[in-house]
Structure 1
Amino acid sequence: MRLLLMSDTHLPKRAKELPARLLADIPHADVVVHAGDWVDTDTLDLLENRSKRLVGVYGNNDGPGLRARLPEVARVALGGLRLGVVHETGAAQGREARCAARFPDLDVLVFGHSHIPWDTTAETGLRLLNPGSPTDRRRQPYCTYMTAEVADGRLRHVELHRLPRR
């Protein structure tokens, strides 16, 4: 099972549209995960229409329209993998322990908010992934998103994709 992970799209504030390379990757994903800060419902509509399956949450910049359609926290089982999605996890320092305590029932937690790619594993085995942002790199050298595979209940082949600078 192939996953495509993104967060913090902030459309149309940070960019007019999602990058072409990201859009081209969507049909190859069995599940698209968005960790919040969509900003507009058009992006949610687009991903619902183009994705085989979409798992998303709202972020701190998402208004009532998105909050009415999305949860704050999502939990799904994907081929035996227990995956969760949330927008904010707090400060980087202590993140692994804090998230492991908050989400003891998960194998993987996808989060956003910082626009900074992150891939670590807590002492409990919880894998934490932040795909960065495909539209707003902030202080990062590139806009980014991630892909991964799920096989035999395990996450494999996590890859950070750097998008061309605009």
Structure 2
Amino acid sequence: MKVVIVSDTHIAKKEAELPVRLMEELPSAELIIHAGDWNIPEVYDQLESFAPVHGVYGNVDGIEIQELVPDKQIIDVKGFKIGIVHGHGEKKTTEKRVVEAFAEDNADIIVFGHSHIPLLRYFKKQLLFNPGSPTAKRKLPYYSFGIMTFNEETFEAKHIFY
């Protein structure tokens, strides 16, 4: 099962397009995860035209997005528990906030955003995965998003940089 993972798309205009490199991967996705900061619900609609979408809202998302997706959720993909949260808040690092958000949930994977910094690392037994941003790289050299591939026993996670 192929899962495309995005966060921090920050698309504020209905006529704005998702990046070409991301659009190349979406037709083969079986599931899409968005870790917040969509800006407008049309991004959800566009992603959903390719595959089912699970997501959360971020700190820049208004009421339209907040009514569409929760602030935190856990989904099951091929027996792996995936926690999804944006990661914003006060004090502590984004990583510490997301780990604490799922401290009682035994998530195998935590997908988050907010920092726009791509990350793939383990903290104890949980994989922490931030896809970065496909539209707002800030001071980083590349835009990015993620792809996870699952089967019944294993998964593989990677970033796509462009």
- Provide the TM-score with structure 2 as the length reference: 0.89
CA 1:82–1:89 in 2, change beyond 3 Å: closer, same or farther? farther
Q: How does 1:20-59 map to 2 (within 5 A)?
A: 20-51=20-51, 53-59=52-58
Whole-Å separation in 2 of the counterparts to 1:6 and 1:92 = 23
Deviations 1:70-119 (A, max 9, x none): 100121111001001100166775835x5444314200010000111011
Deviations 1:16-47 (A, max 9, x none): 32111211211111111100000011111111
Q: Which residue of 2 aligns with 1:144?
A: 144
Whole-Å separation in 1 of the counterparts to 2:93 and 2:59 = 20
- The 3-state SS of whatever aligns with 2:110 is strand
CA 1:3–1:92 in 2, change beyond 3 Å: closer, same or farther? farther
Whole-Å separation in 1 of the counterparts to 2:68 and 2:92 = 29
- The 3-state SS of whatever aligns with 1:50 is coil
* Structure 1: gaps of 5 or more residues: none
Q: Which residue of 1 aligns with 2:158?
A: 159
* Structure 2: gaps of 5 or more residues: none
- The 3-state SS of whatever aligns with 2:159 is strand
Could you tell me how far 1:140 is from its partner in structure 2?
A: 0.6
Alignment: residue pair count: 158
Deviating beyond 6 angstroms after TM superposition, the runs of 4 or more aligned structure 1 residues are: none
Q: How does 1:1-166 map to 2 (within 5 A)?
A: 1-12=1-12, 16-51=16-51, 53-88=52-87, 93=93, 95=95, 99-104=98-103, 105-123=106-124, 125-156=125-156, 158-163=157-162
- Provide the TM-score with structure 1 as the length reference: 0.87
- The 3-state SS of whatever aligns with 2:158 is strand
Amino acid at match of 2:55: G
Could you tell me how far 1:152 is from its partner in structure 2?
A: 2.4
Conservation of the 8 A alpha-carbon contact between 2:120 and 2:128: yes
- The alignment-based identity, stated in percent, is 35
Amino acid at match of 1:29: A
Whole-Å separation in 2 of the counterparts to 1:143 and 1:133 = 6
Could you tell me how far 1:133 is from its partner in structure 2?
A: 0.3
Whole-Å separation in 2 of the counterparts to 1:135 and 1:26 = 15
